[in-house]
Amino acid sequence: MLSPDNPIRTVAIIGAGLMGRRLAGLVARAGRSVTLVEPVESVLESGLAAARDMAPNGSISGSDAIVQGVAHADLVIEAIIEDLSVKQALFAEMASVNAEAILCSNSSVLPITVIAEGVDDGTRCVGTHFWNPPDLIPIVEVIRGERTSDTTMARTYDFMSSIGKLPVRVEKDVPGFVGNRLQHALWREAIDLVASGVCDAETVDLVVKNTIGLRLGEMGPIENADYVGLDLTLAIHEAVLPDICAERHASPYLRDLVANGELGAKSGHGFLIWPDGSREQAAARLSAHVQKQLADQTS
């Protein structure tokens, strides 16, 4: 294992998709040497172009092979599809190529412990869940697997701080970690309200954006519970929680939409109608909104 005092200078990013290319630009912009690894030539070329646009003075190279891309890295971040078997195979290959690097998974939901099952030295495997877009959203969840060492946790946390992120420690390896468990608890109830006929999809979004959405950027749920009083919080829970959706499986309503090919923005229809170009408009709107919030926080 690399010495705890040895700084992380070289980083490999596996996967040149929308997340991987922005991670490469982010890390290079922070002064690290980056290799972007992607087997599909066209994706690698477009990924390199996007990363270099983000960090025009950065050190960014490309490789279509794991061996060349990972062999000399101090830290590796995989940003590939959310397929457990594919991630497991990749981690085993990365470990065989480089016996010392910290091996990070950007999985948003899959347990790090299971992803790293095929790695002999699991002490150097850790979760680093960035949020999309990773160069804008501050948080990175640093997740401890069952075998992750204290040294790996500390070095990864410090590295994330050094590239300008806001790392948080997730000390127990549960599916979805912290952010996605909270997010999808809200989504489960939102979908159930629509499926149950309480209101339409547009109303759900309108209510969220103009009530709790206005508060959450400044006051998180735990602080808000304390703020209003835990006696009131308890009373509300006693009245509301018995009627809130507690389904342990995905909504049948959601399953039917997917089965019918109604996939949302990518297919043009889901809960909402998505005309041509609206997905790109939504992405630009979201990016501008996040940037404004961050600017307001620092002004």
Catalytic residues: 108, 129, 141, 180
What's the CA gap between 282 and 174, in Å, rounded?
A: 31
Helices (H), the chain: 18-29, 41-54, 66-70, 84-97, 112-115, 150-162, 179-195, 201-209, 212-216, 221-228, 230-240, 252-259, 278-298
By the 8 A CB rule, do 101 and 113 touch?
A: no
Q: Kindly give the interhelix angle for 41-54 and 18-29, rounded to the nearest 10 degrees.
A: 40
What's the CA gap between 173 and 144, in Å, rounded?
A: 6
Q: Which of 87, 83, 139, 106 is nearest to 18 (CA)?
A: 106
Q: Which of 192, 194, 131, 200 is nearest to 166 (CA)?
A: 131
- β-strand 139-144 against 75-78: which pairing, if any? unpaired
Q: Which of 61, 73, 58, 62 is nearest to 25 (CA)?
A: 58
By the 8 A CB rule, do 74 and 10 touch?
A: yes
